[in-house]
Amino acid sequence: MSPLDAAIATHWIGPDVVIPMHYYPESKNPEEFRKHAETLAPGTQVLLRPRGWFAYEPSWITFLEKE
């Protein structure tokens, strides 16, 4: 998936945060995804810092039970 394809997928999914971790072999610049995502998915925070960490606490959880 190219950086542009990944940004389009980010737009479709609409997450609060995205953590890119796999890069297209021809993409030498991981920042390329961030630039596309800023345009196509402006409400999504992109975390790119290498060796950083991220903790996510969901605002709600839905449990489904079989009847």
More confident residue, 61 or 11: 11
Would you place residue 44 in the very low, low, confident or very high pLDDT band (cuts 50, 70, 90)? very high
Angstrom distance (rounded) from CA 62 to CA 43: 23
List the Cα angle 62/66/67 in 5-degree steps. 125
Domain that holds residue 26: 1-67
Q: What is the pTM of this model?
A: 0.69
Overall number of domains in the chain? 1
Q: How are the residues of the chain apportioned to helix, strand and coil, as percentages rounded to the nearest 5?
A: 30, 5, 65
